Amino acid sequence: MDMAGKTDGFGVNTRLAHIGNDPRDFHGFVNPPVVHASTVLFPDARTMATRGQKYTYGTRGTPTTDALATAIDHLEGSAGTIVVPSGLAAVTVPLLGFVAAGDHVLITDSVYRPTRHFADTMLKRLGVEVEYYDPLVGAGLAALMKPNTRVVFTESPGSNTFEIQDIPAIAKAAHAGGAVVMMDNTWATPLYLRPLDHGVDISIHAATKYPAGHSDVLLGTVSANAACWPKLSEAFNTLGCCAGPDDVYQVLRGLRTMGVRLAHHQQSALDIARWLEGQNGVARVLHPALESFPGHALWKRDFSGASGIFSVVLAGGGEKQAHAFLDALQIFGLGYSWGGYESLAVPVFLGDRVIAKGPYEGPVMRLQIGLEDVKDLKADISRGLSAAAAA
Ligand SMILES: Cc1ncc(COP(=O)(O)O)c(C=O)c1O
């Protein structure tokens, strides 16, 4: 049965099990080879002169990177995908590819912090005008567009505070002004949101998170529609920002189980978020799938699921209470990143925000809900809440 190219009518877990590579291309082995490559040989001078074969050099793709890129194209509905060494590179490569000195970019204020750092340092140094906008701006983005606005950068839900953006309205306003719309879609993965179906031109993922799934690999993917693919591909080839084959393979491996892992993350996180809403010491829970969350209706309209990361706002207190909460946790690790099998907690810093900075009633804690048993995780969070109350 040839599943590799014909999976469109199937359910998501069936597709995840079969997209990307065709086992018949490599003697029937289920998985593709991990091709370690710089040099690719040409059979003769003419083929070399015309680059007349599929693979020409390691930086430009291998059967391993092609398998992952093809799988992501299936999931995103994109014309082409590049695979880069980190999620941050998946942000910086398309931005570098699409802007030039004198251009203006609009970036959501609840963007992943290192994206802001890149924009505020390197983009500005290259002569790009960087402006942050309210993640809830919606169609109001039209008023912020300038004749030189080249890129509108979105991330929904927003990092740490989970604001849901009205992506179709933003995309419409951006396109009316001639800008390209990029979206960091890491939270939803292509299983819970396909940005290109909602007007986005370029979908960005830290594959480090759910696709890799085990806190041991860094990788990024960037997927473009047909109009933007040539420019994205050109930027990738120009920058030489290619990923290592073992990491690419690990992410393809992770994709096979991403559907079942995500379903578990989703269920546990929502259970814990609902429970947290009723706990003493909690002011509110920032989780888009909660009916109480301000962006809930938009989330329901556009997304088909929620992943396993959200934030909880403590009812008052400051750094002392935040540290007491974090230090009392025994299962939740204190560490950055998310999407792995284990639970993590981090204090949220909003000091660099210019618009989407609250107010919040107390410290904001981001929780990544792993694959552990919910009862154990609730007991751990209870320990944290008690410690915060006693601090
Ligand atoms: C929303 C978002 N985008 C991008 C990244 C960057 O990914 P990486 O850690 O692979 O550089 C992260 C990492 O935490 C993230 O949360």
What is the number of the ligand 1 atom nearest to the C-alpha of 336? 14
Sheet of 180-184: strand order equals 80-84, 220-224, 202-206, 180-184, 149-155, 104-108, 129-133
Domain assignment present for residue 3? The answer is: no
Distance between Cα 89 and ligand 1 center (Å) = 9
Structure tokens at 322: 């935040």
Distance between Cα 49 and ligand 1 center (Å) = 40
Domain assignment present for residue 2? The answer is: no
- Residue 105 and residue 27 share a domain: yes
Q: Cβ(368) to ligand 1 under 6 A?
A: no
Q: What is the pLDDT of residue 327?
A: 98
Domain assignment present for residue 67? The answer is: yes
Nearest protein Cα to ligand 1, atom 2: 112
Nearest protein Cα to ligand 1, atom 6: 87
8 Å CB contact between 340 and 205: no
Q: What is the pLDDT of residue 9?
A: 82
pTM above 0.85, yes or no: yes
Distance between Cα 206 and ligand 1 center (Å) = 5
Distance between Cα 44 and ligand 1 center (Å) = 43
Domain assignment present for residue 6? The answer is: no
Structure tokens at 6: 């014909």
Give 38-89 pLDDT, tens digit per residue.
999 999 999 999 999 999 999 999 999 999 999 999 999 999 999 999 999 9
- Residue 195 and residue 272 share a domain: no
What is the number of the ligand 1 atom nearest to the C-alpha of 220? 10
- Residue 302 and residue 226 share a domain: no
Q: Where does a domain end: 232, 254, 276?
A: 254
Name the residue range of residue 163's domain.
12-254
Distance between Cα 189 and ligand 1 center (Å) = 12
Domain assignment present for residue 100? The answer is: yes
- Residue 186 and residue 122 share a domain: yes
* Mean per-residue pLDDT over the chain, rounded: 97
**CA dihedral of residues 294, 332, 371, 262 (deg, nearest 10):** 30
Dihedral sign, Cα of residue 279, residue 283, residue 286, residue 291? positive
Domain assignment present for residue 265? The answer is: yes
The domain that holds 354 is classified in CATH as 3.90.1150.10
- Residue 28 and residue 108 share a domain: yes
- Residue 265 and residue 249 share a domain: no
Nearest protein Cα to ligand 1, atom 13: 337
Going residue by residue through the chain, which has 391 residues, state the pLDDT in tens, using 9 for 90 and above: 345 455 668 999 999 999 999 999 999 999 999 999 999 999 999 999 999 999 999 999 999 999 999 999 999 999 999 999 999 999 999 999 999 999 999 999 999 999 999 999 999 999 999 999 999 999 999 999 999 999 999 999 999 999 999 999 999 999 999 999 999 999 999 999 999 999 999 999 999 999 999 999 999 999 999 999 999 999 999 999 999 999 999 999 999 999 999 999 999 999 999 999 999 999 999 999 999 999 999 999 999 999 999 999 999 999 999 999 999 999 999 999 999 999 999 999 999 999 999 999 999 999 999 999 999 999 999 999 999 999 9
- Residue 343 and residue 250 share a domain: no
Q: What is the pLDDT of residue 7?
A: 63
Q: What are phi and psi of 277, to 5 degrees?
A: -60, -25
Q: For a pocket test of ligand 1, which of 108, 159, 186 has the largest count of ligand atoms closer than 8 A to its C-beta?
A: 186
- Residue 291 and residue 247 share a domain: no
Distance between Cα 153 and ligand 1 center (Å) = 15
Number of domains in the chain: 2
- As to burial, measured by CB atoms within 10 angstroms (0-12 exposed, 13-18 middle, 19+ buried), residue 244 is middle
Domain assignment present for residue 1? The answer is: no
- Residue 104 and residue 207 share a domain: yes
- Residue 165 and residue 214 share a domain: yes
- Residue 42 and residue 177 share a domain: yes
Q: Where does a domain end: 202, 219, 254?
A: 254
Q: Where does a domain end: 254, 285, 317?
A: 254
The domain that holds 67 is classified in CATH as 3.40.640.10
- Residue 231 and residue 264 share a domain: no
Q: Cβ(218) to ligand 1 under 6 A?
A: yes
Nearest protein Cα to ligand 1, atom 5: 87
Domain assignment present for residue 5? The answer is: no
What is the number of the ligand 1 atom nearest to the C-alpha of 208? 10
* Strands 180-184 and 202-206, bridge-based pairing: parallel
Q: Cβ(159) to ligand 1 under 6 A?
A: yes
